[in-house]
Amino acid sequence: MELHKYLLLLKFIVLLKGLCECFNIDVKRPRIYTGPEEALFGFSVLQHDNAGDKSMLVGAPWDGPSNTRRGDVYKCIVGEERSSNCTKTNLGESTLQNVSRNLKNSHLGMTLSPDSPDGFLACAPLWSQECGTSVFSTGICASVSDELESRETIAPTAQRCATYMDIVIVLDGSNSIYPWYEVQNFLSNILSKFHISPEQMQVGVLQYGEVAVHEWSLRDYQTTQEVVEAAKNISRQEGRETRTAYAIHMGCTEAFSPERGAREGATKVMIVVTDGESHDGEELPDALEECEKRNITRYAIAVLGHYIRRQQDPETFISEIKYIASDPDDKYFFNVTDEAALNDIVDALGDRIFTLEGTLGYNESSFKFEMSQIGFSTHVLDDGILFGMVGAYDWDGGVLKEGAEGRIMPTREAFESEFPQELKNHAAYLGYTVSSVIVGDWRRLYVAGAPRFKHKGKVILFELSDNGDVNIAQALNGEQIGSYYGSEVCGLDVDQDGITDVLLVAAPMYLGPGNKEAGRVYIYSLSGVFVSNGTLKAEDRFQDARFGYALASAPDLNHDGYTDLLVGAPLEDGHNGAIYVYHGQGIHIIHNYKQRIAGSSLSPSLQYFGRSVSARLDLDGDGLLDLAVGAQGSAVLLSSRSIVQINMSLSFQPHSINVIQKTCQRGGRESACLNATACFLALSRSPGTLSSSFDLSVVAMLDERKLTARALFDDSNQRQTQLGVRVHTGQTVCHNLPFHVFDTADYIRPISFSLRFKINDTESGPVLDEGWPTTFKRSYYSGTSIAFFKDCGEDDVCVTDLVLQAHMDISGTRQQPYVIRSPRRRLAVEVQLQNRLENAYNTSLTLHYSRNLHFSSLSIRVRNTHHTPHTHTHTHTHTHTHTHTTHTHTHTLHTNTHTLHNMNLTILFRLLPLLSLPPSLSMSPSLSFSLSPSLSLGGYPVEN
């Protein structure tokens, strides 16, 4: 039975150890916020605090109807409720509308970053510009205040389209132009070619004859459909004169005025359509001079129908129209046979306008910044923002720094030492992720990943000057094709001294066992440069994990003063996902994870848990850092739990066990009763507000290493008892544990006393400090257990002085030996044992005698003892000691007296006949004694 209890206790200890494997991230009470899954709600997460209004911002970059995925950011309030609704912020409309009304498929919310000193960045890296028939994904970001108000839009690579034009059509509406519907058809057809929008083309129409009228101004219509419909409703102005110079002058000075919607920086284009010579031709030079002053490019179209119908020579007319057109004529002059033929030049005219003045042809195969996708990765600095330009330079990628001092855009050639163009390694994706580190001489090095460089990936660390020069300090290279090495980087200042200690580089698609995308994270420690220092990886399972898909530093999760690390693995457990928590120590990251949080343990419905992580604020108001984790259609907030240290102390009353003086009866037997006082003091190692009290379960054990208990608790009448203790932080609480000791033969070894505890509230309460003991023992190993009363003075150390005297009832010498005669068969030995100083316990007396003696009897007479001694005679056990031809027996006597002062022993032997002994034993009988106290100086023997 006692052994069974001992095994149960061991099992309890093992269970306690298992409970301590996870650490202080609360996985029992997560806050789970849900949003539209098809919008990719949870793609990015950011903790947010607006003057105490605490929330989690969640990116949903595919938010919106299927054909207009504008994307948005949701705000999820963190309150008393474990979950609440999230509201759409409509950031796209409020922050990007001033840049473009076309937010179709811009995917706002793909990136969320904290801004400095407050606010945040929300980016739409797929925000595109429509330039003619081409679409350029330059990307855009919005700097948003904590109040969710737009501060500025940042689109450093957005370029003004070549189609950013203000076009005024000066249309002849005199009587001679006929039929009018053909002119209307031409007008509708050419207008339908134009890409009319605030970011591209604006069109105004001025019709003239004898007078000139603005049919509509540049600012009147914002879409192609609107102007085409307007053109259908234009009626002919009529008139007997064609005052072309007057109309051109009016167009240059009025139609292109800001009041009528002309835009600064827009290319100004005038299209003059007429069917006859002007009646004010002498004014043409002045009118054209006004156009030249305003840099207005002129296309002129001569409609020859009137001349052909009247069979007149159009040469003078053609010369005038060529004079109106800009040079060269073969580019800016058109003539058609009649009004119907106007439609034949629509395509040619449109093409010439779109390629005006050598602007970029949209069918070109080489791109610079047109596909840069600003906002795909961002890193906020003290003096600006570092952007990755993953699509720049034909997707080789690049970086850009936007700061107070201006914009720094390194050229493609600036990185050529590590990205040589002769490799023709298109789509290296430099800038897929960006960050920075501070190295030993307090230099800032920028960091950029290129996960597709030579298909293995690369990370570069570089300096960037104000003029765009790049000095690459170090390059790190991936080792496995397709691993996406460099898709995430994270620098950690572990000891928080301002210098980056560790750089982590993720390869989330690294193939592990079974060709599964297990992923891994490479560790580089700063030692002059960053040197390899091992890897982190997911649990060894044959599964996809994409470990390292997301990385984030956590300022100090376990409150030890070191920065910690979070790693997302969104494909683990059949795409349920998981995150891993690693603790920092010194200037390193401990390679073994401290806590793995599986998405399925929080909610079975979670998918891709760990696709994004953020850990920078306390959102639930307890003063401790919280974790925000993104999933598919969900965002999860995990709270930290406070860390406590439980100090235990133990005292006894009385301080020792005196079994001579029985003080109580237990189980019908006289016993020595005592009381143990166990005290507990809980101290918090965590900042912030700690729950004032929590409960402990305590197991107390007496004599746990002995199979037979010498002491039992009063309440359970067993060597083990349990109690519940409610502790208050910063206060000592004590509990009494009365127990009793029966009479026992073992007074030497003290009785051990142990306490083991665990914290009851495993869901929301504090957790025990890492490595903090859960067991408190007072045992003979520590020398602080409860000992038996020895009555050995104030120092409680027994110093003995044992004296042994022995006399035989025969006498003789070598010169005069004693002769044994046949009637004499007995030998008597009188022994006197005396202790002249303090008490001696468990004294042993060993008698060695020759084999021609046979032990017969023993009698003991004791004086000045409190108990009758208990002796053991090992008559059935002989120890033979062979020394040459000498054979002896031994006989040991143990005295279990509490005290020993004087003892007399009479030992009788029988002499064996000489004839019965072999020749080697025909000798004189011999005796010798050895004496030892088991306890003489206060030391305790080790129990076997």
Q: 572-617, pLDDT tens digit by residue?
A: 999 999 999 999 999 999 999 999 999 999 999 999 999 999 999 9
Confidence at residue 595, expressed as pLDDT on a 0 to 100 scale: 95
Q: Name the band, by pLDDT with cuts 50, 70 and 90, for residue 19.
A: very low
Decide which of 855 and 293 is more confident: 293
In angstroms, the Cα distances linking 897 to 708, 833, 835, 861, 942 are 21, 13, 12, 13, 20
Q: What percent of the chain has pLDDT over 90?
A: 54
How high does pLDDT run on average in the chain? 85
Q: At what angle do helices 224-232 and 180-193 cross, to 10 degrees?
A: 180
Residue ranges of E strands in 368-501: 378-381, 384-388, 399-403, 406-408, 433-438, 444-450, 458-464, 470-477, 488-492
Question: Exposure of 367 by Cβ count < 10 A (0-12 exposed, 13-18 middle, 19+ buried)?
Answer: middle
**457-461, 555-559, 716-720, 894-898, range with the lowest pLDDT:** 894-898
Element (H, E) at 95: helix 91-95
400 has a pLDDT exceeding 50: yes
Q: Name the band, by pLDDT with cuts 50, 70 and 90, for residue 814.
A: low
In angstroms, the Cα distances linking 782 to 13, 703, 778, 779, 939 are 20, 14, 6, 6, 12
- What is the bridge-based pairing of β-strands 378-381 and 333-336? unpaired
Decide which of 692 and 620 is more confident: 620
Please say whether the beta carbons of 220 and 196 come within 8 A: no
- What is the bridge-based pairing of β-strands 502-507 and 488-492? antiparallel
20 has a pLDDT exceeding 50: no
Q: Tokens 């998981």 label which residue?
A: 578
Q: Name the band, by pLDDT with cuts 50, 70 and 90, for residue 819.
A: low
In angstroms, the Cα distances linking 696 to 5, 646, 675, 720, 731 are 22, 10, 21, 17, 14
Decide which of 380 and 889 is more confident: 380
943 has a pLDDT exceeding 90: no
Q: Name the band, by pLDDT with cuts 50, 70 and 90, for residue 508.
A: very high
Q: How many helices (H) and strands (E) does the chain have?
A: 13, 56
Phi, psi (deg, nearest 5) at residue 712:
-135, 150
873 has a pLDDT exceeding 70: no
781 has a pLDDT exceeding 90: no
**Distance of alpha carbon 71 from alpha carbon 63, whole angstroms:** 4
Question: Region 350-365: what's the mean pLDDT?
Answer: 59
Question: Region 652-668: what's the mean pLDDT?
Answer: 85
Confidence at residue 697, expressed as pLDDT on a 0 to 100 scale: 94
The encoded tokens of residue 102 equal: 């076309």
Q: Name the band, by pLDDT with cuts 50, 70 and 90, for residue 822.
A: low
899 has a pLDDT exceeding 70: no
Please say whether the beta carbons of 180 and 237 come within 8 A: no
**Distance of alpha carbon 347 from alpha carbon 353, whole angstroms:** 10
**Distance of alpha carbon 168 from alpha carbon 547, whole angstroms:** 59
Q: Name the band, by pLDDT with cuts 50, 70 and 90, for residue 7.
A: very low
Q: Name the band, by pLDDT with cuts 50, 70 and 90, for residue 878.
A: very low
Confidence at residue 85, expressed as pLDDT on a 0 to 100 scale: 79
Which among 894, 506, 635 has a CA at the least distance from the CA of 33? 635
Confidence at residue 102, expressed as pLDDT on a 0 to 100 scale: 61
In angstroms, the Cα distances linking 498 to 346, 439, 443, 464, 762 are 65, 9, 11, 20, 36
867 has a pLDDT exceeding 80: no
SS3 for 762-780 is CCCCCEECCCCCCEEEECC
Confidence at residue 10, expressed as pLDDT on a 0 to 100 scale: 40
Domains delineated in the chain = 2-20+643-778 (2.60.40.1460), 165-358 (3.40.50.410), 802-935 (2.60.40.1510)
Confidence at residue 567, expressed as pLDDT on a 0 to 100 scale: 98
What global pTM score does this model have?
0.78
Confidence at residue 357, expressed as pLDDT on a 0 to 100 scale: 45
* Residue 107, phi-psi category: left (phi > 0), alpha (psi -120 to 50), beta (remainder): left
**521-525, 765-769, 851-855, range with the lowest pLDDT:** 851-855
Confidence at residue 850, expressed as pLDDT on a 0 to 100 scale: 79
**2-11, 314-323, 816-825, 890-899, range with the lowest pLDDT:** 2-11
Number of Cα atoms under 13 Å in the Cβ half of residue 249? 14
Q: Tokens 């739409």 label which residue?
A: 124
**Distance of alpha carbon 735 from alpha carbon 724, whole angstroms:** 10
Q: Name the band, by pLDDT with cuts 50, 70 and 90, for residue 282.
A: very high
**Distance of alpha carbon 523 from alpha carbon 532, whole angstroms:** 6
- What is the bridge-based pairing of β-strands 886-895 and 881-883? antiparallel
Confidence at residue 145, expressed as pLDDT on a 0 to 100 scale: 92
Please say whether the beta carbons of 602 and 30 come within 8 A: yes
**334-348, 461-475, 619-633, 850-864, range with the lowest pLDDT:** 850-864
Q: DSSP secondary structure string, 850-875?
A: ETTEEEEEEEEEEES-SS-------T
| ω into 179 cis (within 30 of 0) | yes
* DSSP one-letter code for 252: I
Q: At what angle do helices 180-193 and 346-354 cross, to 10 degrees?
A: 40
Sign for the CA dihedral angle at 658, 661, 666, 668 comes to positive
- The model's pLDDT over 695-710, given as tens digits with 9 standing for 90+, comes to 999 999 998 877 788 8
Phi, psi (deg, nearest 5) at residue 33:
-110, 135
Q: DSSP secondary structure string, 18-30?
A: HHTSS-SB--SS-
Question: Region 381-404: what's the mean pLDDT?
Answer: 93
Number of Cα atoms under 13 Å in the Cβ half of residue 634? 23
Q: Name the band, by pLDDT with cuts 50, 70 and 90, for residue 787.
A: confident
Contacts with 299 (C-beta within 8 Å, 6 or more apart), sequence order: 269, 270, 271, 272, 325, 326, 332, 333, 334, 349, 352, 353
- What is the bridge-based pairing of β-strands 826-835 and 802-808? antiparallel
Confidence at residue 914, expressed as pLDDT on a 0 to 100 scale: 57
Question: Region 773-786: what's the mean pLDDT?
Answer: 66
Please say whether the beta carbons of 844 and 935 come within 8 A: no
- The model's pLDDT over 200-253, given as tens digits with 9 standing for 90+, comes to 899 999 999 999 999 999 999 999 999 999 999 999 988 888 999 999 999 999
Question: Region 868-883: what's the mean pLDDT?
Answer: 41
**Distance of alpha carbon 943 from alpha carbon 933, whole angstroms:** 16
Confidence at residue 667, expressed as pLDDT on a 0 to 100 scale: 83
Confidence at residue 879, expressed as pLDDT on a 0 to 100 scale: 43
| 95-109, 126-140, 170-184, 910-924, range with greatest mean pLDDT | 170-184
